[in-house]
Chains A and B, each alone.
Chain A
Amino acid sequence: MNSRDAVRNFLLATLIAACAGSSEPVPPPDPSPLTLSLDHLRRLGLDAVVNGRPVRVVALYAEAPDYRPTPSPERDGSEGIASLDDAARAAIVYLRAFEMTGDPTARDEALGLLAFVTVMEQGDGEFINFIDARGRPNRIAPSSRKSMSYWAARGIWALGEAVRVLGTEGLKDVPGAREVLDRAIARMAREVDGGRLIGGSATATSEALLGILALHEAEPSARLASLASRTAALLVPLSRDGQDAPPWGARTDSPDAIWHAWGARSTAALARTSIALNRPDLLEAARREADGLWGRFLLAGQVPAAVSPNGSVRWFPQIAYGVGPVVEGYLEIAEATGHHRYAVYAGVTAAWFFGANPARVAMYDRQTGRTFDGIDGPSPVQVNRNAGAESTIEALLALQRVAGSPEAMEYLTYRTVDVPAATLTTVPDRRTFEGAAQKRLTLRREAEGIDVVESPSAAAPITLTYWPAANPSETWLATRLASQWNADNPDVQVRVQPLPAGRSSEEVLLAAIVAKATPDISSNVSSALLARLVRAGSVVRLDDRSATAARLRERTNAEMLASLRLPDGGIYAFPWKTNPEMLMYNVDLLASAGVDPPRTHSELLDAFRRLARDTDGDGRLDRWPIWAGLKTTWFERFYDFYPLYLASAGGRTLVADGKVTFDNAAAISALEVLRQGFETGSLPRVNFSIGRDPFVDGRVAMKIIGPWFVRELNELKVPGLRYDVAPVPAADGTPLEDRYAFADLRSIAIFSTTRHPDAAARFVAYLTSPAADQLLIEHASQLPYRRNLAHDPRFAAALARWPTLATYATYVGRTRDLDLDPDVVEIFDLLSEAYEEAAVYGTRPVREALTRAATEAQRILDAR
């Protein structure tokens, strides 16, 4: 080492020791999130040609120990090698996997299976179920013949899900699928209108109903809503007796029929219908079986195979097709009611897949994705270790739902402490389960249902510090949520401390990091700060923590997360709320000037000309179309240039892969429209920072702003101010699908100084739950970063609380944020300079100003 190196190293060591000392390593995630393997399902996949068309199918069986795909045995009448029943449900598994991960191979598998569903339709909405090894449909076997039965219902379910996940356009990749779906729905409607269950079965009817609801979510219509309502009406009266007499509200195909766990999806279907159609009565119907019969399962300690009308029970075989629908049913009710306890029930029931069963064998294998075919008795040797299609698919369907529920995930490791009950007629009044760290959960029968009592772990309670934004509405929200959490979680207490004062939350958090005084959690982290925090190792990765991974799954999809992933693929801050900016306009001022809300830059320029007024006749303009700020502080461009640019940039932002991307026509158009506004005097060269907002007092007619402003307007109660919002105008000729809104995404971060990352992750999952999101909308007029927010019936009432908020919500999925780049602030400053020179003062041509800014920005990126 030469002397220069020695000096350099000494200086570095001194400085690092003084200022940037290393922090303690963050404990690894425990337990790890539920990662679902589709390997075994893929292994069961086969290529086939049916009616001359190449399709994908799923082999029916796979026998231990080699698990080779196997056709239907002679015992079952040699039905064939594969069925629509399995293919349709497997397609749903793949579609949901694609939705969450964006994995194109999952999409391809789904499309291949949907092609099989499509070719098995017989031209009138009825389907055949099986094919033989040569791809010939089996028209003879009773379990396969052409009908509107189980396989038809599952076809509707799969195709409906496909429209929900892939969109109407996406389904066009399967030729003829849409026509098949329409014919099948028409055929189904005939059954429903005739008062007949599909295939005479509550299961099949429920699965068809789930398909209708999925389609309705993507393409809401009165016709589909009506069909869903009529179908649900067939299910409601199937519930037998009340909670105190056998069969405890069980929903069976006929009064004297045995209730069987297999495919007991009517509870899930009714609960989902209640959400979609806002029908509390259907939720009550859904809860009859869940609160009655299933409540006894919880107290008994296991889910049986079948229950007779007199209450006698057959406990075995226990199979995934029986346990999975109960888990899904509980989760649907949890979603519909918002009651945490149903998610707990789902968790302890789903624990069956991980060894909480009479045989104490993990039925689902995380490595291979295999699910054993069932348990024939209470010992490991009585486990059927084959892993056929139905077991594998049904387990995945249930566990995909569990993986999206942080509350259910928490209980997957819990085991019943006492031996299971032998009957359902005499079940104990309470049952205790034990999880990791000797934490105990007791389910106790109460008048209202099964109560959940948690015993905290033996360890001393921990305290988390949470910094929300300091504005009154968010502080109120944080305080309220934390106090509820503290009441429910005596072993993890949260202390709320609003973010200390500063010019921006970024500067405050940076100061806290340098001083090593960060809280455990902060909920106002902008993307501008995030990249830097990650580079410094200051925040905890969240997509590998069980609770936050589950909440991400419940709230978002692959596309929504794509732009938030750091180069290592990780999500390091929970995307909490997004506030898409739109063009807010004064309805009366625009009407009086004969101006419609402008959609393009040409229309915007026309509006500039027509809205600029000298109202008092003193020769000076005193009313303007819009106000673009004159200050060059980087975030000022959030309200003029940047949203105008994003509206036309086709999803591009400023930087991609270390290259500047804003030196383009969209930026030129955005800057040019502002330049013309200033040059003609339509835009004022004035700062309105003192006094009231110029939009509020009618001095400007339009404003680019996010939904938080709606709350401010509401508080100001300006008499006579009528306003509405429209998308930010885009450059002429920009296609609708290329238009994006700017949204300053705010995330929740867990700082690596925390000693309790898993407890913090649980609290973050709680802060981002549907119930918390409803509060966020209702009290702060801000929008959670949540998929399908505008059409999610659970949030309709909250959105309706504020004018225009429902319109804002339609843009949640079409936003672009700041780039996750450590130098984004400096790049924005360069753009601000270009804006000032080219647009405000016209001292440099637009193109030259942008090119100059782009060159300097690239130099900054290259210098890293």
Chain B
Amino acid sequence: MRAEQRSGWLLSAPYVTFLVIFAAYPIAFALVLIFLRWDLVTDPSFAGADNLRLLAHDGRFWRAVGNTFVFLGIHLPLQIVTALALALALNRPLALRAFWRAAFFLPVVISGAVVAILWSALYATDVGLINRLLVKVGLAPVAWLTNPLTAMPAIAAMVTWKNVGFYVIIYLAGLQYIPRSCLEAIELEGASPWQRFRHVTLPLLLPQTILVVTLSTINGFQLFIEPYVMTGGGPLRRTYSIVLYLYTNAFSYQKMGYAATIGVALAFIIGTVVFVQRRLIGKAEAL
């Protein structure tokens, strides 16, 4: 082996080791677990295709899949619109602009559990700030987290608030790259601000939008800490996400084989959805 090859192997060894231990091995392990019954403490036993069959007929799992799509249905548009609006606002000359950018990014770096606890306090039916404000203006308090109709939207709003700073940064970066000449040219042609946004800014931000949609989708499918802390999956399982269901099977019921099956199914769903998204947005880009 040549010295160059040796040093190549040597240099890549740390990353390869990392990859094998923390990616390849867990993936292989999860794939093996699909075919096993294992409760962590006793020896595993062969389960054949039982876990896959159970998954196919498990109403609770499909309910969790449905809930996760409901969450994404609310969260994705809300995330894109909010992030874009804030990015546009922060891209304009503004007093204390650096402060505002930092302020909106701050929730991103706060622990999800802490945010969930804080928002639980805000949403509290009896003493929550939101309901106090509603009562002050003469409205009835809302059982945000215990009403089956409002629980998931409430969580989606909170998740949007927490993550928006990250996506604002992405959009702000995109906005920096929009040539001023294009905007000035269309402005000279008499275009309104809306027309400038619709026909120049938005199309030129499409790569960022694809990134935001992809990342939000992947993150959204991994919804866990918020329902875990705030609702426990209720009311009426309306906030039971796929990952929460996975966690419950793994660590409350100690059904590691079935939990791994859910995990692999989740990876498959995410891959499929992101693939479809990219194909659809890609087509839109081509148009």
Set of chain A residues within 8 Å of B40, measured between Cβ atoms: 19, 510, 513-514
A620 to B44, CA, bound (A): 55
Set of chain B residues within 8 Å of A8, measured between Cβ atoms: 35, 46
Q: Return B218 CB to nearest CB of chain A, in Å.
A: 26
Set of chain A residues within 8 Å of B35, measured between Cβ atoms: 8, 11
Determine whether B96 belongs to the interface, using a CB cutoff of 8 Å to chain A.
no
User: What is the chain A residue whose CB lies nearest that of B253?
Assistant: A826
A535 to B40, CA, bound (A): 11
B39 to A532, Cβ gap below 8 A? Answer: yes
A15 to B32, Cβ gap below 8 A? Answer: yes
Please provide the chain A residues from 799 to 840 with a CB less than 8 Å away from any CB of chain B in the complex. Answer: 822-823, 825-826, 829, 833, 836-837, 840
A352 to B145, CA, bound (A): 71
A11 to B234, Cβ gap below 8 A? Answer: no
Set of chain A residues within 8 Å of B148, measured between Cβ atoms: 841
A623-635 vs B, CB cutoff 8 Å, 1 = contact: the mask equals 0000000111110
Q: Return B8 CB to nearest CB of chain A, in Å.
A: 30
Determine whether B91 belongs to the interface, using a CB cutoff of 8 Å to chain A.
no
Determine whether B42 belongs to the interface, using a CB cutoff of 8 Å to chain A.
yes
What size tier do the contact residues of chain A reach? 35 or more
A602-638 vs B, CB cutoff 8 Å, 1 = contact: the mask equals 0000000000000000001000000000111110100
A630 to B32, Cβ gap below 8 A? Answer: no
A14 to B32, Cβ gap below 8 A? Answer: yes
Determine whether A533 belongs to the interface, using a CB cutoff of 8 Å to chain B.
yes
Please provide the chain B residues from 133 to 163 with a CB less than 8 Å away from any CB of chain A in the complex. Answer: 140-141, 143, 145-148
B22-33 vs A, CB cutoff 8 Å, 1 = contact: the mask equals 000000010011
Q: Return A170 CB to nearest CB of chain B, in Å.
A: 42
B146 to A12, Cβ gap below 8 A? Answer: no
Set of chain B residues within 8 Å of A822, measured between Cβ atoms: 39, 254
Set of chain A residues within 8 Å of B234, measured between Cβ atoms: 630-632, 836
A780 to B198, CA, bound (A): 67
What size tier do the contact residues of chain B reach? 35 or more
A685 to B232, CA, bound (A): 15
Set of chain B residues within 8 Å of A699, measured between Cβ atoms: 126
A843 to B253, Cβ gap below 8 A? Answer: no
Partner-binding segment picked from B74-82, B117-125, B261-269 = B117-125
Determine whether A689 belongs to the interface, using a CB cutoff of 8 Å to chain B.
yes
Determine whether A538 belongs to the interface, using a CB cutoff of 8 Å to chain B.
yes
Please provide the chain A residues from 1 to 37 with a CB less than 8 Å away from any CB of chain B in the complex. Answer: 8, 11-12, 14-16, 18-20
Determine whether B284 belongs to the interface, using a CB cutoff of 8 Å to chain A.
no
B146 to A510, Cβ gap below 8 A? Answer: no
Contact of B32 among A11, A632, A633, A829 (CB under 8 A): A11
Q: Return A858 CB to nearest CB of chain B, in Å.
A: 16
Set of chain B residues within 8 Å of A20, measured between Cβ atoms: 38, 41-44
B126 to A837, Cβ gap below 8 A? Answer: no
User: What is the chain A residue whose CB lies nearest that of B148?
Assistant: A841
A687 to B44, Cβ gap below 8 A? Answer: no
Set of chain B residues within 8 Å of A825, measured between Cβ atoms: 252-253
Please provide the chain B residues from 248 to 284 with a CB less than 8 Å away from any CB of chain A in the complex. Answer: 248, 251-254
Determine whether A451 belongs to the interface, using a CB cutoff of 8 Å to chain B.
no
Q: Return A806 CB to nearest CB of chain B, in Å.
A: 35
User: What is the chain A residue whose CB lies nearest that of B140?
Assistant: A620
B231 to A631, Cβ gap below 8 A? Answer: yes
A424 to B148, CA, bound (A): 85
A630 to B253, Cβ gap below 8 A? Answer: no
B253 to A514, Cβ gap below 8 A? Answer: no
A80 to B251, CA, bound (A): 70
Q: Return A176 CB to nearest CB of chain B, in Å.
A: 56
A646 to B139, CA, bound (A): 42
A690 to B145, CA, bound (A): 13
Set of chain B residues within 8 Å of A513, measured between Cβ atoms: 40-41
User: What is the chain B residue whose CB lies nearest that of A636?
Assistant: B232
Set of chain B residues within 8 Å of A634, measured between Cβ atoms: 252
Determine whether B233 belongs to the interface, using a CB cutoff of 8 Å to chain A.
yes
A15 to B143, Cβ gap below 8 A? Answer: no
B42 to A687, Cβ gap below 8 A? Answer: no
Determine whether B173 belongs to the interface, using a CB cutoff of 8 Å to chain A.
no
Set of chain A residues within 8 Å of B254, measured between Cβ atoms: 510, 532, 822
Set of chain B residues within 8 Å of A709, measured between Cβ atoms: none
Set of chain A residues within 8 Å of B128, measured between Cβ atoms: 690
Q: Return B137 CB to nearest CB of chain A, in Å.
A: 14
A840 to B32, CA, bound (A): 41
Contact of B145 among A18, A507, A687 (CB under 8 A): A687
A12 to B44, Cβ gap below 8 A? Answer: yes
Contact (A514, B252) CB under 8 Å given A15-B32, A633-B232, A840-B235: no
Set of chain B residues within 8 Å of A630, measured between Cβ atoms: 146, 234-235
Determine whether B237 belongs to the interface, using a CB cutoff of 8 Å to chain A.
yes
A11 to B124, CA, bound (A): 49
Determine whether B188 belongs to the interface, using a CB cutoff of 8 Å to chain A.
no
Contact (A538, B46) CB under 8 Å given A631-B234, A833-B237, A841-B236: no
Best-surrounded residue of B43, B127, B231, B248 (most CB of chain A within 10 A)? B43
Determine whether B36 belongs to the interface, using a CB cutoff of 8 Å to chain A.
yes
Set of chain A residues within 8 Å of B231, measured between Cβ atoms: 631
A533 to B41, CA, bound (A): 7
Set of chain B residues within 8 Å of A632, measured between Cβ atoms: 232-234, 237
Contact of A15 among B38, B121, B252 (CB under 8 A): B38
Set of chain B residues within 8 Å of A472, measured between Cβ atoms: none
A361-380 vs B, CB cutoff 8 Å, 1 = contact: the mask equals 00000000000000000000
Contact (A16, B44) CB under 8 Å given A687-B124, A841-B236: yes
Best-surrounded residue of A620, A630, A636 (most CB of chain B within 10 A)? A630
Q: Return B225 CB to nearest CB of chain A, in Å.
A: 12
Determine whether A716 belongs to the interface, using a CB cutoff of 8 Å to chain B.
no
A15 to B232, Cβ gap below 8 A? Answer: no
A836 to B235, Cβ gap below 8 A? Answer: yes
A690 to B43, Cβ gap below 8 A? Answer: no
B146 to A685, Cβ gap below 8 A? Answer: yes
A634 to B233, CA, bound (A): 12
Set of chain B residues within 8 Å of A836, measured between Cβ atoms: 234-236
A685 to B143, Cβ gap below 8 A? Answer: yes
Set of chain A residues within 8 Å of B45, measured between Cβ atoms: 12
A532 to B41, Cβ gap below 8 A? Answer: yes
A686 to B253, Cβ gap below 8 A? Answer: no
A11 to B127, Cβ gap below 8 A? Answer: no
Set of chain A residues within 8 Å of B36, measured between Cβ atoms: 11-12, 15
Q: Return A620 CB to nearest CB of chain B, in Å.
A: 8
A843 to B253, CA, bound (A): 26
User: What is the chain B residue whose CB lies nearest that of A634?
Assistant: B252
A536 to B42, CA, bound (A): 5
A689 to B125, CA, bound (A): 10
Contact (A686, B125) CB under 8 Å given A20-B44, A535-B41: yes
A485-514 vs B, CB cutoff 8 Å, 1 = contact: the mask equals 000000000000000000000010010011
A818 to B126, CA, bound (A): 33
Set of chain A residues within 8 Å of B235, measured between Cβ atoms: 630, 836, 840-841
User: What is the chain B residue whose CB lies nearest that of A507?
Assistant: B251
Q: Residues on A close to B: CB < 8 A?
A: 8, 11-12, 14-16, 18-20, 507, 510, 513-514, 532-533, 535-536, 538, 620, 630-634, 636, 685-691, 699, 822-823, 825-826, 829, 833, 836-837, 840-841, 843
The 4 closest A-B pairs by CB, nearest first: A536-B41, A631-B232, A686-B125, A536-B42
What are 27 contact pairs spanning A and B, CB under 8 A?
Answer: A8-B35, A12-B46, A14-B32, A15-B32, A16-B43, A16-B44, A507-B251, A510-B251, A532-B41, A533-B41, A536-B41, A620-B141, A632-B233, A632-B237, A634-B252, A685-B125, A685-B147, A687-B145, A690-B120, A690-B121, A690-B127, A691-B124, A823-B253, A825-B253, A837-B236, A841-B148, A843-B236
Given contacts A15-B33, A825-B252, 16 further A-B contacts (CB under 8 A): A8-B46, A11-B46, A12-B45, A535-B42, A536-B39, A686-B126, A686-B146, A687-B124, A689-B124, A690-B120, A690-B124, A822-B254, A826-B252, A829-B248, A829-B252, A841-B235
Q: Residues on B close to A: CB < 8 A?
A: 29, 32-33, 35-36, 38-46, 120-121, 124-128, 140-141, 143, 145-148, 231-237, 248, 251-254
